Amino acid sequence: MTAMARAPKVHLLGLGSMGTVLAVNLLRFTNAAVIPLFRSKEKVDRFQTEGNSTIGIREIYDKKSPLFTCKLEECECPETYQGGPIKNLVVTTKTYQTKDALQPYLPYINSSTNLILVQNGLGVLELLRDEIFTGKSSRPQLFQGVISHGVYLEKGYIYNHAGWAPMKIARIPWEETGIIQRKKDAQADRAENELVALLMEQPFAQFFGTQHMTYQELLVGQLYKFLVNACINPVTSIMDSLNGEIVDDCSDIFTLIVDECLQVLELSYSRIFNYEDVYQNQKEYPDMKVKSVLNTEHMVRQIIEIGCVINAKNSSSMRQDTLYLRDTEIEYINGYIVKLASRFKIEAKTNRAIVSLVNLRLGLNRRRANVGD
């Protein structure tokens, strides 16, 4: 039986920018049922009454594109959820919201649940392993989505899809020892796993740009995307700018940030940075370029291209947080480098300064909102 025939149910935790772009595209291009899990009954009621249970995406990267809207037939929150075990769970909350958001649904997540994290940054895997899913036998099937689409709120439940870029997906191993996967491991997921099959189903995969791969390939993509976020997100927040506005003058600060991040990441992800030396020409494993991709000069060019050119009209997710006076993901991005560096007994002064400046920007915005400027 194909995924199309079964109409998979996808529960979605985090109906914000990323959640909405995924939900709208899943509903447009597959037969999946998407069920958002809201924070509270009050949020469900507001969505149903003020929002008429409708979400929308305006693809502003394509001037001719109409507004795509979808009505969500079912939605839940911790007070109302009475369903059985959850089969497919997409987590699109901010990283720092993950633990609280998952907590009410833990009784419904088991070893048959497919749980995919679609988030920026690093550090959530450790959180899930050490603080949430501590019992090994009941851990869900875990996947990661590394997403480069740029999306921000227009108003209500309508979001602007400002930059189109692919989403890479792979199974995450729960243990460090499993980080190098064989090509046939990924092929098995594509054939047998409902969530992977759904996300790779055509025409969804083509329109949304999903690419499925082994974990080590995803990890290179994740570190790459991490470097994009370590530059674009804090710098646009500190400067309070759209991504495209900093295009001409950002390469110096980006070089400082990337150089320091790479020094620290190389220490922690040595198996990935040494992959080419060990696995080159081993047919069971994918060929992968690491050192020619994850180096400062190449990355700074790529970050400017993805962050400031393709996503020129985007207001980064961290800048959105500082504008709406919400906590930011800085501890899972530049702050993660600071913590990792201290584990290796080295200093990460540039990233430490970046963390302080983002916190200063958020503090200043909150103060202005409270006492005026």
Ligand X SMILES: NC(=O)C1=CN([C@@H]2O[C@H](COP(=O)(O)OP(=O)(O)OC[C@H]3O[C@@H](n4cnc5c(N)ncnc54)[C@H](OP(=O)(O)O)[C@@H]3O)[C@@H](O)[C@H]2O)C=CC1
Ligand Y SMILES: CC(C)(CO)C(=O)C(=O)O
φ/ψ (deg, to 5) at 118: -115, 85
Q: DSSP string of 62-103?
A: STT--EEEEE-S--B-TTT------SEEEE-S-GGGHHHHHG
Distance, in Å, from the CA atom of 229 to the CA atom of 249, rounded to the nearest integer, reads: 17
Distance, in Å, from the CA atom of 350 to the CA atom of 39, rounded to the nearest integer, reads: 36
Q: Which residues in 236-265 contact ligand Y (CB under 6 A)?
A: 243
Q: Which residues in 151-210 contact ligand X (CB under 6 A)?
A: 151-152
Q: Which residues in 320-359 contact ligand X (CB under 6 A)?
A: 329
Quick check: 228 binds ligand Y (CB under 6 A)?
yes
Which of 113, 314 has the CB closer to ligand X?
314
329 binds, among ligand Y, ligand X, none (CB under 5 to 8 A by kind): ligand X
Quick check: 362 binds ligand X (CB under 6 A)?
no
Verify whether residue 9 is a known catalytic residue: no
Cα torsion angle, 180, 300, 268, 274, sign:
positive
Residue 151, amino acid? V
Among 100, 284, 287, 297, binds ligand X (CB under 6 A): 100
214 binds, among ligand Y, ligand X, none (CB under 5 to 8 A by kind): none
Quick check: 121 binds ligand Y (CB under 6 A)?
no
Structure tokens at 193: 């796993």
Quick check: 30 binds ligand Y (CB under 6 A)?
no
Quick check: 92 binds ligand X (CB under 6 A)?
yes
Quick check: 144 binds ligand Y (CB under 6 A)?
no
Quick check: 311 binds ligand Y (CB under 6 A)?
yes
Residue for token pair 């909350």: 93
43 binds, among ligand Y, ligand X, none (CB under 5 to 8 A by kind): ligand X
Residues binding ligand X: what is the number (CB under 6 A)? Answer: 27
Residue 163 CB, shortest distance to ligand Y, in Å, is 6
Degrees to nearest 5, angle at CA 221 with 346 and 58: 120
- Is 131 buried (19+), middle (13-18) or exposed (0-12) by CB count in 10 A? exposed
Establish whether the linkage from the previous residue to 36 is cis, with ω within 30° of 0.
no
Quick check: 314 binds ligand Y (CB under 6 A)?
yes
16 binds, among ligand X, ligand Y, none (CB under 5 to 8 A by kind): ligand X
232 binds, among ligand Y, ligand X, none (CB under 5 to 8 A by kind): ligand Y
Pick the catalytic residue from 225, 291, 313, 345: 225
Phi-psi region of 372 (alpha: psi -120 to 50; beta: other; left: phi over 0): left
Task: Tell me which residues are annotated as active site.
Answer: 225
